[in-house]
Each structure stands twice: as structure tokens, then as C-alpha cells.
Amino acid sequence: MFNAYPLLLLLSGPFFRPFPPLMSFIVKMAWRDSRRNRARLLLFISAIVAGIAALTAVRSFSVNLTADIDREAKSLLGADLLIQGNQPLPDSLLDQVMRAPGARQARVFNLLNMAYFPKTGGTRLTNVRAADPGYPFFGTWKSVPENAWKTYQDSGKKALVEHGLLLQFGVQPGDTLQVGAQSFAIEGDLLSRPGRAGIGSAIAPVAFIPIRWLDSTGLVQKGSRIWYQYYFKIPVARDLDTLVRRLEAPLQQANLDWETVETNKQQIGRAFGNFSTFLNLVGFVALLLGCIGVAGAVHIYIKDKLPTVAILRCLGASGRKAFYVYLVQVAGIGLLGALLGAALGSLIQKLLPWVTRGLLPIENVSTGFSTLSALQGVLLGVSVAILFALLPLSGILKTSPLRTLRVAYGEQESTSRWLHWGIYALIAAALFGFTWWLIRDWEETLWFMGGIAVAFLLLFGAARLLMLLLRRFFPKKWSYVWRQGIANLYRPENQTVLLVVTIGLGVMLLSTLFLIQNLLLQQVEFSGSGNQPNMILFDIQTNQKDSVAAMVRTHGMPVLQQVPIVTTRLEAIDGQTKSSRSRRSPTRRENLLTVSPTGCGTGSTA
């Protein structure tokens, strides 16, 4: 078997250089004492490996994903500056942007519309994106043919369609796509493009058309819902920062949003940071359960070793020295388990990009080895293993040499109650600190730790109540096997509390994951079940209401609801318009609203 003595001596040497003979004795004794129990000690590793592997895999994946987002930030946005909203960019603001040295512009207008495939007769709700030539300024897409994402803009009426849409209707490049009143030849199959998670394609796959043909489709009319995007390339970063500061207020007044490479990085990083934090907490709970198991295993192991400790005391070793011997054993096992967990986690993280490929904005996420994540996992594994082993190890400190003669003598011994509470406080502080390090929010950390504490106390109370009830209402008339099995739940040295807490927390963790999954699935199922409408018609005039309802019924679709709608526009508050209020702040509470109707109609759901 691998000789861990040199490794343990090397790792522990710097901390005990003032006492090399003492440390040499402790390490040698820890290694020699483990010879008969290495199989049991190695069993402890399995309780640590799983948690450390999960944490290392998630943290390595997060580190690589963050680095990739930072590296490909421009490709994800496609430009240096994006201005977007549900109305066009005013010419005055457009002129200010284009006055920046070397500025270039590309427009992309987005409409949700039904696309029709004449070859198969299929229709599908599609995100039609009319784009200017030159979009995007940064990044490369994948398409078949290879340059189709560029050539569809060259000449003629051509479209670039996402792969899922072509696959669904059995069409291919060269076939025809009809959008509105215009037909387009499918130039290419769009396989992937940066900045869009694949899950969005399940709702509204994208079809790109040249913007010069948008008007001929007849989709742009009064009342059309269009999302306007203006992409700009600003070569000088300093000019971009100055421009953004100058345009921030006018863009807000025009109800337009803006994004730069930096803001886009922050938004994407924050979204996937929350996801990775959730996974980190799941891995942390798994590690916590493993360490509770370590504490129980160490408790049983130390109980068997108390006669050996008593012999060491007879030979002149102090209780503290004997304590260090078994602390080194636990630390060595924790180190080995943490190393195995970190190595396994580094391998698992290579699979995570494939598992989450439909949710990521980047197609090829790096899977390189993260030294920092592995080191954090190793340090955490060793620290938590030692922390949870301190309580059972503390029983060694008061072991008397008389235990070699009288086995029952040690049953009367106990460590200081203050020491126990100190160890509990140390464990709680360490868990709280690590949870805060993962979440970086004091309030959420308190809620998480409070929930874990409440669950722990409830399970502890349930286990103690079970033992009390079994002792009080013992089934004396049952068969021998049942009586012995039940009696073992409350006899001395039982592990009932530990098992109930561990199994209960494990079930809580799995139940939480399944509950979240079911809630998400139920929301999706609710939207498409029962009498939920799957089509909504807006802006139906009063004289059109009956004819539209009749037309819907002739197609075999029930009219579920007809709702009168009066659209209004906010004119003033206490006689003050929006422009006047933006020049000065209000000095008193305002509650008088002046509105003016802008139109009326009916909305129907079918």
C-alpha cells in the first residue's frame, strides 16, 4: 500500500518545526496504528469524495465559463454598443452616436410572426430578424454552407434559418420560406450563433432576412409589435465611455435600453453566477451530509481505540499527545479523500458543458483544469473533515490509564461541556463563513443556515422522540427478531440520532430538487392545459368583433373570452408633464392623474 508517512511528515513539518521529535512520534504512531484499520479508514473517504467532487466540478465549470464570457464578450454582444427598445431610435440620438470617430451602425428589427413552408405546408411561430449587412461586427456563426450567414445578404430574397426549424419541417437550404407577403429562398442552415441559449429556439426559432425586404413583407404596419435593435461599432473605448455617459439620460427619456460589452458581461455573469451558486450549495449540503457520516464513523472508530489510548497513557503519553495521533489519522484520510474528490470533480466538469449545452450562451466552454478550484476543494475537504471529527476525538483527552484494567471505568469519563460547546460554535462559524463565501449575501446566508439548523433540530427532536416512545411502549409480545431490532434503536452506543439526521437531510435535499423541478414543469403544463388560450387577437374594433368571433368558430376553435380594451396614455400628474417633472424633483406627494384615451378595441382569446 502507498506509504503516506513521508507525505504527512512533509505537510505537517512546517507547523511543528519547534518540536520535531514530538511530531515524528505522532506521525509514526498514527501510521502504525492505522495498519489494522486501513479498510475502515478508507471507507471514510467515500463520505468526503462525493461532496468535494461536486463542489470542485461546479466551481471549475464556473471559473472556465466566466473566463470564456470575459474573453468572448464582444462576440456575445456582436458590437461595442447596443441600443434597443420597442420604438425606433430618434434621429437626434442616432446622429450623436454616429459622430464618434469611426462609428459604424447595423440595424436588426425583430418581429414574432408565423412562418410558412410551402414545401410541407407547415407553419410555425418564428422570430423574424431583419438585419443590415455587416451584422454582427464581432463573432463568427456556424452555418451550412459555411459562409451562408454572410452570403444571405448579398443579393436576392434570401433567408438564414435556424437548424431546429428546418429539422422540424423537413426542409433544407434551397427550399422556400414565406414570411408575410414575401417569399425567401433558404440560403443556409444556421447551426449556432453566440449570445443565444438554445432553449430559446424551442419557443420561437429565428429566421434572418435582409432588412431591405422587410417592408415588402407587409409586417410593418400600425400597431405592429417590433423590437428595434441598433448595433454600433465604436473603435475607441474612451469615446464609447464618453458617449454612453452623455446618452444615458436621453435614452432613458426615450424609453430605450442600452448595453455595452461590460454591462453584457455583468448581466450574463450574474445570471449564471446565481445558477452556479445554487449548484454550489447543493454540493455543499452533500458534503455536509458526508461529514456528518464521518463524525459518526469516527465516533465508532475512536470507541474501539480507547483501550489503545489507555495503553499509550500507561506508557507516558499525555491525553493531548494521543489526541494528536488520531487527529493526524483523520487529517490524512480527509486529505486523501479531498484529493480524490478534487481529481474526480475536475473530470466531471468536462461533462457539464455537454449537459448544459442548451442553456449556455457560448457553444464551446473551456474544460481546463482549474488549480484554484481544486485547491479550494482540497482545503475545504480537509477542514470540514477535521471539524466534524473534533467532537468524537475530544473523548480521547480524558481517557484514563485505568481503562486498561477496568473497561467500564471509561464509561464514567466525559470531556468538558464547555469544550463541546466550543467545538459546536467552531463548526457553526466555519459553516456560516463558507456559506457566505459562496453566496456573498448576509441575509441569504442567514436564511440558508437558519433553514439547515431548523431541519437539523427537527430531525434531532424526531429521533429522540422515537427513542423515547420505543423505550416507553416497547412491544414485548413481538417476535425475538423484531424485539432485538427495535431495542437496538435505543440501546447504548446506538446511532439512531445520527442516521435519522443524515437520512432526513439527504431526503430534504433530494425533495427540494424534485420540488423545484416539478414547480417549473407545472408552470409549463399549466400554460398549455385546460382552457388556457394559445392565441390572442388584439385591436379588434367594435364593428369587427362579431365577424372575428364567427371566423374563429368556423375553424373549430372556441372563443374563450372577449375583453373590452381602452388604451390610455399618461399626460400629467397634478398638472405636471413628464418633461417638466424631469427638470425638477417633486416637493410633495402627487396623486392626481390626468389620462387621455388613445383608442379602443376588443381583445379576444381562443
304-362 confidence digits (pLDDT tens): 777 888 888 888 877 788 888 888 888 888 888 888 888 888 888 888 777 766 666 66
The dihedral region occupied by 88, where left means phi > 0, alpha psi between -120 and 50, and beta the remainder, is: beta
pTM score of the predicted model: 0.61
Place of cell 440595424: 107
pLDDT for res 419: 78
Per-residue pLDDT tens digits for 377-406? 888 888 888 888 888 888 787 777 777 776
Grid cell at residue 469 = 416512545
Distance CA 157, CA 183 (A): 7
Distance CA 236, CA 214 (A): 32
State the pLDDT confidence band at 293, using cuts at 50, 70 and 90.
confident
Which range has highest mean pLDDT (43-52, 460-469, 508-517)?
Answer: 460-469
Say if residues 599 and 564 touch (Cβ distance below 8 Å): no
Q: Give the chain's mean pLDDT.
A: 78
Whose CA is closest to 205, among 225, 231, 179? 179
pLDDT at residue 586 greater than cutoff 50: no
Over residues 578-590, the mean pLDDT reads: 53
Grid cell at residue 357 = 449545452
Residues 541, 547, 553, 555: is their CA dihedral positive or negative?
Answer: negative
pLDDT at residue 130 greater than cutoff 90: yes
Say if residues 576 and 559 touch (Cβ distance below 8 Å): no
